[in-house]
Structure 1
Amino acid sequence: MKRICSIYRSPLKREMYLYVLKADALRRVPEGLLAAFGAPQHAFDLVLSEERALAREDIHKVLENLDRQGFHLQMPPAEEEYIQHLPEELLRMNDPL
Structure 2
Amino acid sequence: MHAYVYKSQRRADTYVYLAARDDFSRLPEPLRTQLGALQFVLDVALTPGRKLARENPEDVRANLAARGFHLQFPPTLDVDPMSEGWGTDA
TM over 0.5: yes
1:75 and 2:73 are equivalent in the alignment: yes
Query: In the alignment, which residue of structure 2 is the partner of 1:20?
Result: 18
- Deviation of 1:31 (Å): 1.1
Which of 40, 43, 46 is the matching residue for 1:42?
40
Q: Distance in 1 between matches of 2:80 and 2:74?
A: 10
Instruction: Count how many residue pairs are aligned between Structure 1 and Structure 2.
Output: 86
5+ residue gaps, structure 2: none
5+ residue gaps, structure 1: 92-97
Give the letter for the 2:35 counterpart: F
Q: Distance in 1 between matches of 2:54 and 2:30?
A: 24
Which of 61, 64, 73 is the matching residue for 1:63?
61
Identity of aligned residues (%): 34
